Amino acid sequence: MPKPTIAITIGHTHYARIFSDAAWRELNTFADVIHHPGDDPADKAALIALLPRADACITSWDVAPLDADVLAAAPQLRALAHAAGSVKRFISDALWARGIQVTSAGPALARDVAETTLGLIIVGAKRILPLGQHVREGGWRESSAWPSREVSSSVIGLVGASSVGRHVLDLLRPFRTTVLLYDPFVSTEEAARLGVAKVELAELVRRADIVSLHAPAVPSTYHMLSRALLQEMQDDAVLINTARGALIDEPALIDELRKGRFFAFLDVTDPEPPALDSPLRSLPNVVVTPHLAGCITDCTRMGEMAVEELRRFFAGEPPLHPITPDQFGRIG
């Protein structure tokens, strides 16, 4: 039986970042591989030129969407494995109509985001940044940021039991902390199995010492952390956003931060990056980082997962992380 043909669309500049040697070896054992010849991710014209012979393809950040024109030029295409986070931008109605299998390596990226989140939870609970600045300015413990606190004695509020949120839960288990969860798609029974207390969002922001956002950016979550809810957050709380900036009413957040009541770590903003004159760049109780919570230089876990998904597809095995039309409204 001839091997399937798999097209790599991500551009040669990104090969080392996405694919490990092990991934290449595995891919070549079951497929003939064709490559987009450019250094940068394939644009629409490049996809139309590359995909006519492809039975499947691997996409990643900045590859052009597989719209109706691209799919019309790819009559053999049966599977798409996305080696990045959200696959939503790449999917069109034409792809669903063709019955093409779509998988996402987002769960591999989720682990990186969760690890960053755990770091911010610890740094936030210990109040390392404000206390470090206080010491730099000549002080010691006579600060409003003292005493710092332990994660184990903190109430952690997670907004969203996404792949990232569930990884954060796994990482928090050794701390034996109290975790509150807001997620309308998680039942009380499932929350109990996860070891968390399912609550409404208003209760979560009132009770949590640390609020961490892990929801998708969809219409129903736009500005879910509203002015009213931000005003309900505890004094000395910590807000962490490694998800999407649009989840927070940013002008309202700035107003609350100006009061000095709580601290925020924002890896994402809306817009991104924030304007040069945005108060988020200058307020002392907020740290904005340049969307770095996920993998930066070593994303090879995603490449390996994408290869494994295609191996399974052509071996007739079920996918590990399929994306289906009924999930589409719930992913960001």
Give Cβ neighbours of residue 91 (< 8 Å, ≥ 6 apart).
65, 66, 102, 323, 328
The token duo for 96 is 């669903």
Active-site residue identified among 134, 244, 301, 321? 244
**Active site annotation includes 272:** yes
**Active site annotation includes 206:** no
Asked if 280 contacts 270 with a C-beta cutoff of 8 angstroms, the reply is: no
**Active site annotation includes 258:** no
Q: Which residues pair with 103 in a beta bridge?
A: 81, 322
Asked if 213 contacts 248 with a C-beta cutoff of 8 angstroms, the reply is: yes
Active-site residue identified among 115, 227, 272, 312? 272
Active-site residue identified among 149, 223, 291, 311? 291
Annotated active-site positions, please?
244, 272, 291
